[in-house]
Amino acid sequence: MLEGLLIGLTTALSLTNLAMVIGGCLIGTFIGMLPGLGPMSIIAIMIPVAITLGDPSAALILLAGVYYGAIFGGSTSSILLNAPGVAGTVATSFDGYPMARDGKAGKALTIAAIASFAGGTLGAVLLMIFAPMLSTIALLFHSAEYFALMVVGLSAIAAFAGTGNVAKAVLMTLLGLIMATVGEGALFNMPRFTMGLMDLQSGFSFITLAMAMFALPEAIFLVMNPARGAQGAGSGKIENLRITRAEARSIAPVIGRQSVQGFFIGVLPGAGATIASFLGYAVERNIASEEEQKQFGKGSIKGLAAPETANNAACTGSFVPLLTLGIPGSGTTAILLGALIALNVTPGPRLMVDSPDVFWAVIMSMFIGNLVLLILNLPLIPYIAKVLTIPRTYLIPFILFFTLMGSYIGQNNATELLILVGLGVCATVLRFADYPLAPLLIGFILGRMLEDNFSRSMQLYDGVGFILDRPMTLGLLVIAALLVIVPSYRARRARARKSGVADGD
Amino acid sequence: MALDRWIALIILGIALAYGYAAYFTMDDLLPPFMQRNPVWPSTFPKVLSVLAIITALIILLGIEKPSGDQKEPDIDYRKLGQYKIGQAGLLLGLMVLYALMLRPAGFLISTVGFLAIGAMILGERKVHILLPVAALATGIVWYLVEGVLGIFLRPLPFFLG
C-alpha cells in the first residue's frame, strides 16, 4: 500500500495534476452554486474537456475535483439562499439557512467547509483501506459473477431510486439497457436497431445522453418555473468566518461518526449522498441531548455538520464500487465510468494492477482536493457567491449553450445536437411523470458490459447453464430479484394493513 | 389516465417494436456460422424486451400502487398552465435552429445569435450590454475549443471560408 501511496503522490503532485485539482474544485464550486445544476450536469458538461486531456489520471482528477467542488458549491447555495442545487445538500439547508438568516452565514460556511473536509478526508482514508481488500475478492469473480453483480447493482439502484415506485425505476433501467444495444457492439460485428440511420451506427453517445437526462431538463425547469431558482432572498454580507473552540469541540464527534456512517452508505449502490445526509441528520438529532435537539432546524451547528460530513463521505464511498468492481453506484460515478471507458481505462479489480497510477492518483487527489476546498475556496466564497447575482436571462442561454457544446465537442456532429434536444424533451416529460432518470443513464452505461459478460458466460457454458453451475451467480441473482420484489411487496402489505386486511405477522 | 401511465404505454409500444425486431427480423441476417453460437446478437435484446414489456404492463395496469408517503413532486405537470411553457418551447426551437445553423453559418455568428436571442426570449432588453457579452463569451469559447482543445469549429459562414 505504501508503494501505491507513493506512486499516487508522484502522479497527483505533478504540476498539471495539481492544476487539475485546483481548477476542478474552483469550477465545480462556481457552477455547483448555480441553482439547478447538480454535480451530474456539471460533470457531464466537463467530460469533453476531460477526455480531450488524453491522460486518464489527469481527467479523473479533474472530474473528481469538479465533483467535490460541486457538492461544496451546492452547500453554499443551500446555506445562503435556501436553494439547494443538489438533492444531497437539502439537509444542509435545514440548519444552514436559519444560521445565515441570523447573520451567521460566515460561520455556517466555515462549519460546512470543515465538515466537508473532514468527511471527505476520512472517507478517503477508509477508501484506501477497503478498496484494495474488495478488489482482491473481486479478482475471484468470473464473467458470470460479473454479470450477476451488475444485475444486483442495477436492481439496487432501481430499488433505491424509485422509493415506492420500483416498477418505474426498473422500467427506466431497462430502457437504458435497451438504448445501449443500439449500434454496433464489440462482440457481434453487426449494427443492431439503427433503423438504417448512419448517425446511430455507433450508438447513442453517452455524453449526449447525460446532458439530455440531467442538464437540459434542469435548464428547462428553470425557464418554466422561475421561482425554482430563487427561493428566499440572499442574506447579504458574508463575514466572520471564524468558529470558536467550544463549537469545534461540539461538532468533532458528529464529524467522526458521520464520516464513517456516510462512507458506508455511499458504498451501497444507489444509496449515495442524499440518503447519507438525511440519515446523518436524523441520527444526530436523535442522539443529541434534549436541549440540543430543540436547536435542530433553527440553526444548530451539529445539524449543519452532520449532513455536510455525511454527504461528502458518501461521495467518497461511492468511488469504492466504481474503482474496485467497475460498477457505478450512482449517476455521478456512472458518468465518471463513461469518461474512463472513453479514455481506454476499464475500472475494476484489474485497475489496481494494470494502472496503479490512476487508482492511487485519484485517491491522493481526493486528499488534495479536500485541502484545496478548505484552504483555497473558503476564503474565496464571498467572491464566488457573486455568481448568484447573475441574472437568469443571461444564465439560462449559457447553460443551454454549454450543454450543446459539450455534446457537439464529443461527437463533432451537428445531428448529435438534434438528438440531444429530442432526448432532452423526452427526459423532461419523464421527469414530469416522476420517472427517475439516473437508473436510465446507469443502465445505458452498464448495458454494454452487462451484455458482454452475459454473452461470454453463455459461450463458456454453452447456454444459460452458468446460472445453475455457479452458486455465487445464482445467489447474486436471487439477491437482485429480492431487491426489486421486497420493497413493492412490503408497500403492498403496509397498504393492506392500513385498510384493515393485514395478513399474518 | 395519468401521465405516467401514458408514458408506460408509449414505452410498451417501443418495447414491443424492439421485441418484434429482436425475435422476428434480426436473426434473418445472421450468417450461418454464427447460428451455431449459443448466444446470438438478438439474445440479450430478447430478454430485455420481455422484461420491459412486463414492467411497462405493471405500471400501465397499476399493479404496483405507489406507497403512501408520496413526496411533493418538485415540478408538477398538473400546473403546466402556470409555467412559462412558451418560453421553454421557444428556447428548444432555438436550440434546434442552432444545430441546423452551426455548420452553414459558422460558429461565431450562430453562437452570438443563440446567446442573444435566447436572452431576449427570456426577457432581456438591454441589447447594448447583451451583444458585447455574447460576443465576448463566444470568442472565449471558440478560442478554448479551437486553440486549447484543438477541435475544429468552422468560425465563419461557408461562403467566407
Task: For residue B150, give the chain A residue with the closest CA.
Answer: A52
- The larger pLDDT score, comparing residue A44 to residue A86, is at A44
B93 touches chain A (CB under 8 A): no
Summarize the confidence of residues A71-75 as an average pLDDT. 82
Residue B18 belongs to domain spanning: 3-66
Task: For residue B102, give the chain A residue with the closest CA.
Answer: A414
Closest-CA distance of chain B to residue A444, Å: 13
Is the pLDDT at A162 greater than 80, yes or no?
Answer: no
Q: How confident is the model at residue A163 (pLDDT cuts 50, 70, 90)?
A: low
Structure confidence at residue B67 (pLDDT): 54
Summarize the confidence of residues A20-34 as an average pLDDT. 84
Domain presence at residue B56: yes
Domain presence at residue A248: yes
Domain presence at residue B161: no
Contact call for residues B41 and A192 (beta carbons, < 8 A): yes
Considering chain A, what percentage of its residues have pLDDT values greater than 70?
A: 90
Helix or strand holding residue A48 (H, E): helix A39-53
Question: Are B32 and B59 contained in the same domain?
Answer: yes
How far from each other are the two terminal CA atoms of chain B, in whole angstroms? 54
Q: How confident is the model at residue A85 (pLDDT cuts 50, 70, 90)?
A: low
Summarize the confidence of residues A190-207 as an average pLDDT. 78
Contact B84/A226, CB-based, under 8 Å? yes
Contact A224/B98, CB-based, under 8 Å? no
B29 touches chain A (CB under 8 A): yes
Domain presence at residue A96: yes
**Residues, chain B, total?**
161
Is the pLDDT at A503 greater than 60, yes or no?
Answer: no
Q: Which of B37, B67, B137 sits opposite A491 (nearest CB)?
A: B67
Q: Which of B39, B68, B70 sits opposite A459 (nearest CB)?
A: B39
Contact call for residues B60 and B12 (beta carbons, < 8 A): yes
Summarize the confidence of residues A321-347 as an average pLDDT. 82
Query: How far apart are the C-alpha atoms of A239 and B51, rounded to whole Å?
Result: 57
Domain presence at residue A445: no
Which of A17-31, A94-108, B104-118 has the weakest average pLDDT? A94-108
Structure confidence at residue A220 (pLDDT): 85
Query: How far apart are the C-alpha atoms of A467 and A90, rounded to whole Å?
Result: 42
Chain A positions touching B48 (Cβ under 8 A) are 174, 177-178, 181
Structure confidence at residue A505 (pLDDT): 41
Summarize the confidence of residues A161-179 as an average pLDDT. 84
Structure confidence at residue A36 (pLDDT): 61
Is the pLDDT at A400 greater than 60, yes or no?
Answer: yes
ipTM comes to 0.89
Contact B102/A492, CB-based, under 8 Å? no
Cell of A427: 427526459
Query: How far apart are the C-alpha atoms of A116 and A72, rounded to whole Å?
Result: 7
Task: For residue A173, give the chain B residue with the closest CA.
Answer: B52
B24 touches chain A (CB under 8 A): no
Residue type, A291: E
B16 touches chain A (CB under 8 A): no
Structure confidence at residue A202 (pLDDT): 78
Contact B124/A394, CB-based, under 8 Å? yes
Domain presence at residue A349: yes
Contact A431/B99, CB-based, under 8 Å? no
Summarize the confidence of residues B37-48 as an average pLDDT. 86
- For B74, the 3-state DSSP assignment is coil
Is the pLDDT at A234 greater than 80, yes or no?
Answer: no
Question: Are B41 and B10 contained in the same domain?
Answer: yes
Q: How confident is the model at residue A446 (pLDDT cuts 50, 70, 90)?
A: confident
Contact A394/B133, CB-based, under 8 Å? yes
Size of interface A-B (CB pairs under 8 A): 194
Domain presence at residue B125: yes
The predicted-structure confidence for B82-137, as pLDDT tens digits, reads as follows 778 888 899 999 999 999 988 888 888 999 999 999 999 988 888 888 899 999 98
Contact A405/B59, CB-based, under 8 Å? no
Domain count, chain A: 1
Interface mutation target, options B1, B3, B4, B23, chain A, most CBs of A under 10 Å: B4
Considering chain B, what percentage of its residues have pLDDT values greater than 70?
A: 86
Q: Distance of alpha carbon A374 from its chain centroid, rounded?
A: 21
Closest-CA distance of chain A to residue B111, Å: 8
Domain presence at residue B36: yes
Closest-CA distance of chain B to residue A247, Å: 35
Q: Which of A175, A224, A454 sits opposite B84 (nearest CB)?
A: A224
Structure confidence at residue B57 (pLDDT): 93
Which residues 96-155 of chain B have a CB within 8 Å of chain A?
96, 98-100, 102-103, 111, 114-115, 118-119, 122-124, 130, 133, 137, 141, 145, 149-152
Cell of A277: 445526509
Is the pLDDT at A233 greater than 50, yes or no?
Answer: no
Query: How far apart are the C-alpha atoms of A488 and A494, rounded to whole Å?
Result: 10
Residue A103 belongs to domain spanning: 2-142+206-414
Q: How confident is the model at residue B75 (pLDDT cuts 50, 70, 90)?
A: low
Domain presence at residue A188: no
Domain presence at residue A446: no
Q: Which residues contact A152 (CB under 8 A, 6 or more apart)?
A: A269, A476, A477, A479, A480, A483
Q: What is the pTM of this model?
A: 0.80
Chain A positions touching B37 (Cβ under 8 A) are 459
Structure confidence at residue A235 (pLDDT): 46
Summarize the confidence of residues A405-434 as an average pLDDT. 86
pLDDT, chain A, mean: 81
Domain presence at residue B15: yes
Domain count, chain B: 2
Contact B64/A431, CB-based, under 8 Å? no
Structure confidence at residue A35 (pLDDT): 64
Q: Which of A415, A458, A495 sits opposite B39 (nearest CB)?
A: A458
Chain B positions touching A392 (Cβ under 8 A) are 122
How far are the Cα atoms of A490, A491, A500 from residue A503, in angstroms, in the given order?
12, 13, 9
Q: Which of B34, B92, B111 sits opposite A421 (nearest CB)?
A: B92
Closest-CA distance of chain B to residue A50, Å: 10
Task: For residue B37, give the chain A residue with the closest CA.
Answer: A459
Structure confidence at residue B69 (pLDDT): 47
Chain A positions touching B59 (Cβ under 8 A) are 167-168, 171
Is the pLDDT at A343 greater than 50, yes or no?
Answer: yes
- Written in H, E and C, the secondary structure of A140-190 is CCCHHHHHHHHHHHHHHHHHHHCCCCHHHHHHHHHHHHHHHCCEECCCCCC
Question: Are B16 and B49 contained in the same domain?
Answer: yes
The predicted-structure confidence for A458-472, as pLDDT tens digits, reads as follows 888 888 888 888 888
- The larger pLDDT score, comparing residue A384 to residue A441, is at A441
Q: Which of B4, B69, B85 sits opposite A433 (nearest CB)?
A: B4
Domain presence at residue A185: no
> What are residue B49's phi and psi, to 5 degrees?
-65, -40
Task: For residue A189, give the chain B residue with the closest CA.
Answer: B41
Domain presence at residue A218: yes
Q: How confident is the model at residue B161 (pLDDT cuts 50, 70, 90)?
A: low
Structure confidence at residue A500 (pLDDT): 55
- The larger pLDDT score, comparing residue B67 to residue A300, is at A300
Chain B positions touching A393 (Cβ under 8 A) are 119, 122-124
